[in-house]
Structure 1
């Protein structure tokens, strides 16, 4: 698959938190587009993707001078009141191009000098471990949420073949925990998993968030249905996993291993 990269000059970086993210004052996306290109990604049905004229996962806009633009806007917003940031809502801040461009790292460097009230980092990339030095400087004002939709690598390859392997994400959770960075494992969207999933995660995190297509795509599952994801479940003979009540199976398995106050469901698990 050919991937095209473009450089853009953003006028703003912080967007008002709305909808699913109303708990945050702002969302922050270091890039537009995401080369992980997961099949179930709800952004595929959002205007940023629909009006692009190119398949989601095949292009990325790199925001030049992002740190400079962000610093000015960030300080301005801080002067008005508390600033809580969700990074990121429509891209992965640690997708492969970040190795080279370091846009996300440059934004963190701004934040460690004058921290926001809270920063939530949502990723599925092991690259986040590169920035442990900066994340530690944010102390309790940051949480890294690592997407681990399943413990089954065969399932991961069917639904998100271009995303990092599960083992690499688990190893990253261990490294973050060892370093003392606040973390959680986010099972979102919840994919078919084994009965051992909870036991695998228990040594790595003490906080879990479970979400599915029906609660978490911002439209009660409508965007996901438009993607035709149900056909993939049928093809794999896993129809029972594509149902609004399916998350209860995973939730009950995790209740056997984690205390109730350590398991969050959907939106509550992403709150500041």
Structure 2
């Protein structure tokens, strides 16, 4: 089902980095809402979702005039000191509608004009490959973090049926690496995966971040618990994966093929470094 598309004219675009994002001066969301509608998304328990009349995943607000607004805000922010931006904290910056709306691309173009000290792009969308030309212009001031929660497509479909297929995400990691864009694979939230997952990632990235519901939903797993995600694990016969210690399974597998200095847990994997 296609999401309903709305338009809004925000008064501000750069928000102060707080909570999980305290290492950043600002967060930036090109859209409000998210058409991927992942079952486990912590944003479902945030006001932007709770107070919206429509179900999370069924709507997206396009922020009109975003580039013009950023062109005013970014130089002002830079005049006050270092600027580090996390894009995005409560939506994916590469919504399917981005293919035609070009909001995120227009923001990247502004950042080429007024470079922040660091930009972290968090996405699960292969569409990010479209902007390799702009990302390369930012050199080491940017990192693309591609979400790959698992390497098992049947698991992906069970938890995130409307998200991009894993094969397209792996291919995007390959293309980003070949182009020379600083990139990491982000296993977040950690879902059940195979023993081969680490070997599939090894040729594609030099950094891997693992995060789960208990470390990374901003409430020690309480937001996720309210979503009733545990029942899906039980239905699939994978209850042991819904556990604070489950990340060790994947971490140990990764450690067998990656140097430990290339592995990061939760917040440390999202820092501007």
SS of residue matched to 1:220: coil
Contact 2:31 2:60 in 1 (8 A): yes
1:140 correspondence with 2:140: yes
Shift of 1:95: 1.2
> Which residue of structure 2 lines up, in the alignment, with residue 94 of structure 1?
94
Task: Mark the runs of 5 or more structure 1 residues left unpaired by the alignment.
Answer: none
Shift of 1:39: 0.3
Shift of 1:2: 4.7
> Which residue of structure 2 lines up, in the alignment, with residue 157 of structure 1?
157
- 1:110 & 1:29 partners in 2: Cα distance? 15
Runs of 4+ off more than 3 Å: none
1:39 correspondence with 2:27: no
- 2:253 & 2:23 partners in 1: Cα distance? 28
Shift of 1:53: 1.4
SS of residue matched to 2:214: helix
- 2:154 & 2:13 partners in 1: Cα distance? 37
> Which residue of structure 1 lines up, in the alignment, with residue 56 of structure 2?
56
Q: CA RMSD in A?
A: 0.5
Shift of 1:270: 0.2
> Which residue of structure 1 lines up, in the alignment, with residue 194 of structure 2?
194
> Which residue of structure 2 lines up, in the alignment, with residue 173 of structure 1?
173
> Which residue of structure 1 lines up, in the alignment, with residue 109 of structure 2?
109
- 1:194 & 1:156 partners in 2: Cα distance? 12
- 2:248 & 2:74 partners in 1: Cα distance? 40
SS of residue matched to 1:86: strand
Contact 2:74 2:114 in 1 (8 A): no
> Which residue of structure 1 lines up, in the alignment, with residue 27 of structure 2?
27
Deviation by residue 1:50-85 (Cα, 9 ceiling, x = unmatched): 000110000111000100011111111100000000
- 2:15 & 2:256 partners in 1: Cα distance? 39
Contact 2:14 2:27 in 1 (8 A): yes
> Which residue of structure 2 lines up, in the alignment, with residue 246 of structure 1?
246
SS of residue matched to 2:169: helix
- 2:2 & 2:114 partners in 1: Cα distance? 39
The TM-score with structure 1 as length reference comes to 0.99
- 1:176 & 1:202 partners in 2: Cα distance? 14
Shift of 1:38: 0.3
Shift of 1:42: 0.3
1:184 correspondence with 2:184: yes
SS of residue matched to 1:32: strand
Closer, same or farther: CA 197–53 of 1 in aligned 2, 3 Å: same
> Which residue of structure 2 lines up, in the alignment, with residue 215 of structure 1?
215
- 1:39 & 1:74 partners in 2: Cα distance? 34
SS of residue matched to 2:218: coil
Shift of 1:47: 0.1
The TM-score with structure 2 as length reference comes to 0.99
> Which residue of structure 2 lines up, in the alignment, with residue 124 of structure 1?
124
Aligned residues between the structures: 272
- 1:31 & 1:263 partners in 2: Cα distance? 30
Deviation by residue 1:188-221 (Cα, 9 ceiling, x = unmatched): 0000000000000000001000000000000000
SS of residue matched to 1:218: coil
